[in-house]
Amino acid sequence: MTDIPTRRLVLAGVDGSLSAEHAVRWAALEAARRQVPLLLFHACYVPPTMPYVPVSLPRSYGDAVVEQGRAWLDDAERVAVRAAPTVAVRKDLRTGQAADHLIRESASAGLVVLGSRGLGGFSGMLVGSTAVALAAHGHCPVVVVRGRTPDDPPPETGPVVVGVDGSPDGDAAVEFGFEAAASRGAPLHAVHTWNDLSMSDTWSVAPLGLDYDRIAEDERRMLAERLSGWQHKYPDVRLVQHTIKERPARGLLARAEGAQLIVVGSRGLGGFRGMLVGSTSQALLHHSKCPVAVVRPDRAVLAS
């Protein structure tokens, strides 16, 4: 796909949408922080059967699709260069399905950055299928760039938030969070929620009688233990720890108000075998008001 001789370039998906434009700008700034090249990628979908058009076209539909794709890539390049003039920018255009190409190419990237929406979809849809496919199947961390509304640019100030569920698999997300906070000079808010027991609020006939203070204390200790090694590795990052009795998606969304990035693992402690993106990460991909980084435990390619 590319002649850029590094495994860790930032790969951004371009489809001519405003959301992808925000993603390109975000990706350019991130490539500058990482001091790696930026690869702008567009997949042109040329259907095997051409749509019926009741007039003769000036040139083939396939040629027009490719020409439009090149123009989108040129526009994206201008956005990237304006945002980060020192970053080396490359462009690549392929025919086929975007998700297929992006998943394959994510194996040689350090980060994939996409808009939350594209040109497809329908009004009211919260996140597009390309973005969801990459979060589930990408071979490296994936950032889905979001703002307050689908058309708003993402926030660029505020803390980085990382969701910590206590599973060993979550360490890749924690490391990504520290790295992101360090490179931005931003504080890191580590959020651990510990109430999955919605029944404890609703079981009036058989109250569970749990000692919440004690549970809270245990959870706080667990969070501090999980983070201490990382804090040692990143002594300059100002770490704020939040242990809250709340369900994960709600707790994380609340704490991400005013943040510039929220980082989660692709899977947590729940879910079923074979599930690729847990419900918490899915909820954030649909509802977050800032960019969401989804970090798969086995697939993080970290800048070390």
By CB under 5 A, name the binding residues for Mg ion: 118, 120
Q: Which does 117 bind (CB under 5 to 8 A by kind): ligand ATP, Mg ion, none?
A: ligand ATP
Greatest CA separation for the chain? 75
CA angle 170, 267, 139 (to 5 degrees): 90
128 binds ligand ATP (CB under 6 A): yes
Residue 17 interaction partner, one of ligand ATP, Mg ion, none, beta carbon < 5-8 Å per kind: ligand ATP
Q: State the nearest-atom distance from the C-beta of 89 to ligand ATP, in Å.
A: 15
If binding is defined by CB under 6 A, does position 23 make contact with ligand ATP?
yes
Buried b (16+ CB within 10 A) or exposed e, 263-296: bbbbbbeeeeeeebbbebbbbbbbbbbbbbbbbb
Of residues 109, 104, 119, 106, the one with CA closest to residue 44: 119
Q: Does 30 bind ligand ATP (CB under 6 A)?
A: no
Q: Which residues contact 176 (CB under 8 A, 6 or more apart)?
A: 141, 162, 263, 293, 295, 300, 302
Question: Rounded to whole angstroms, what are the CA distances from 239 to 182, 221, 255, 261?
Answer: 11, 15, 14, 15
Smallest gap, in angstroms, from Cβ of residue 19 to ligand ATP?
A: 4
Please give the single-letter amino acid code of residue 97: Q
Q: Mark 87-126 with x for binding to ligand ATP (rule: CB under 6 A) and - for no binding.
A: -----------x---------------xx-xxxxx-----
Quick one: DSSP state of residue 51? P
d(CA 168, CA 190) in angstroms, rounded, equals: 15
Residue 147 partner contact from ligand ATP, Mg ion, none using kind-dependent CB cut-offs of 5 to 8 Å: none
Burial 214-247 (b: 16+ CB within 10 A, else e): eeeeebeeebeebbeebbeebeebebebbbbebb
Q: Which residue's CB is nearer to ligand ATP, number 92 or number 175?
A: 92
Q: Is 14 in the site for ligand ATP (CB under 6 A)?
A: yes
Nearest to ligand ATP of 22, 242 (CB atom): 22
CB proximity list for 236: less than 8 A, separation 6 or greater = 182
- Write down the least CB distance from residue 113 to ligand ATP, Å: 7
Q: Is residue 291 near ligand ATP by the rule CB under 6 A? A: no
Nearer to ligand ATP, 121 or 177 (CB): 121
**Residue 162 φ/ψ, nearest 5 degrees:** -125, 135
Strands 292-295 and 142-145: antiparallel
Closest CB to Mg ion among residues 118, 159: 118
- Using CB distances below 5 to 8 A depending on partner kind, what does residue 41 bind out of ligand ATP, Mg ion, none? ligand ATP
Cβ proximity to ligand ATP: between 103 and 239 the closer is: 103
Out of 8, 25, 42, 267, the only residue in the binding site for ligand ATP (CB under 6 A) is 42
Q: Kindly report the backbone phi and psi dihedral angles of residue 10, in degrees, each rounded to the nearest multiple of 5, phi listed first.
A: -95, 130
Query: Shortest approach of ligand ATP to residue 144 CB, angstroms?
Result: 8
Nearer residue to Mg ion within complex by CB, 17 or 260? 17
Region at 271 (left for phi over 0; alpha for psi -120 to 50; beta for the rest): left
Query: Nearer to ligand ATP by C-beta: 117 or 296?
Result: 117
Q: Site residues (CB under 6 A) for ligand ATP?
A: 13-15, 17, 19-20, 23, 41-43, 98, 114-115, 117-121, 128-131
